Amino acid sequence: MVIKVKREFLEALLDRAATVSGGTVQSFLRTFLIETSDGELTIVRTDTVLAAVARTKCYETDTEASQYRILVDSDKFYQLIKSFSGEVVEIEDVGNHLLRISCGNYVGSWKNEDISKFPSLPSFSQKENRIRVSAKDFVQAIERVKYAGATKTFNFAFRQIYFDKGFCWATDGSRYQDVVCKAVNFPIVLPLIAVDVARFIRLTGAENLDIERDESNFYFRVGEDLYICKNPSVSPPINPKDTYFKSSGVNKRPGWFVFEVGRLKEIVRRIGITSTIGDSRISFHVKSSEIVLSGVDDVGNKSQESMLITFQGDSQAMKKFDVQWDYMEEALSAVKVASAEFVIGESHIALRSDDSFGILPMLKERNE
């Protein structure tokens, strides 16, 4: 059995399959399944929770066998293919569990791993409950909220990204971010380790994405490619949006004002340069027509800058509060409109706009 494929096509397949990150893959699963079937060359990588399935019809073989499967070390094989400069890669099964891999003047003898080590995958056939969405909108929603998910916790409810009721949202129990995503009309729960589905979709260059589901998995189908994610079956956590900022009467809360998003992004970035290492706080002093941002670093360097606002809260509620500057920068990056509203609560602040709602905790006073 000989498989011939252009190096550039093989690289593209491997790039997409490798979006199942090696950091989450157990050592015995650090492999690529390479399969030919029904006129397609397929490369699969999985960690048993996720699976990336990349396909092409642009290859040649010397046999008409209906199906052929080999298994290779993914890390080394990926590095090898990336190192080639020749036009065509040949993979030949020479027997005795060995593969002959060649490209240009390179010839190597590689081990054909035990195929029984590769776990069974769900059927690739189309599922019920299928919707088609804009690939760009879906990817952007994930990218805008993922910062608010918790990466280090035993509470799996906080290690997810949720799509439901026209929104995509994530929280770590204190921070929160949602963005408008009306295209998805059934609930989807993506574990944070699955956010590489966004990179997978971008690499395909597709305009549309078909999302399917069954009782156990979600399927993200882009053309012939497929990204599979197990449904974590974790109930969403209590939404901090409801805890800290009740939907009713939020406009009447003290400390509510409108600001220019682009301008505040610039100031936060500058003031953050002089924040304290390990504390990373910047101070906001809210006045009747402006806010003043300030920061002090570990060696005493100080920064201060102000910007105009349209204040619409109780004038007696003007106050000073501290937040972590990188949290603020991330929350601002989720806002894609020109202006937003700042709502000051008892222990948290909210950035609300037509397309998003973000929540950040205030930092305690330094002398506490």
User: What whole-number distance in Å separates Cα of residue 207 and Cα of residue 130?
Assistant: 17
d(CA 232, CA 194): 11
Q: Once rounded to an integer, what is the mean pLDDT over residues 21-49? A: 82
Burial of 76-101, coded b for 16+ CB within 10 Å and e otherwise, reads ebbebbeebeeebbebebeeeeebeb
User: Which whole number is the average pLDDT over 16-30?
Assistant: 74
Q: Above 80 in pLDDT, residue 66?
A: no
pLDDT at 15: 95
Domains of the chain are: 2-117 (3.10.150.10), 131-230 (3.10.150.10), 240-361 (3.10.150.10)
- pLDDT class of 316 with cuts at 50, 70, 90: very low
Per-residue pLDDT tens over the stretch 186-222: 889 999 888 889 999 999 999 999 999 888 899 999 9
Sequence-ordered list of residues with C-beta below 8 angstroms from that of 141, at least 6 positions apart, any chain: 163, 168, 179, 181
pTM of the model: 0.86
Per-residue pLDDT at 251 = 47
Q: Mind listing the pLDDT tens digit for each residue in 53-64? A: 999 999 998 876
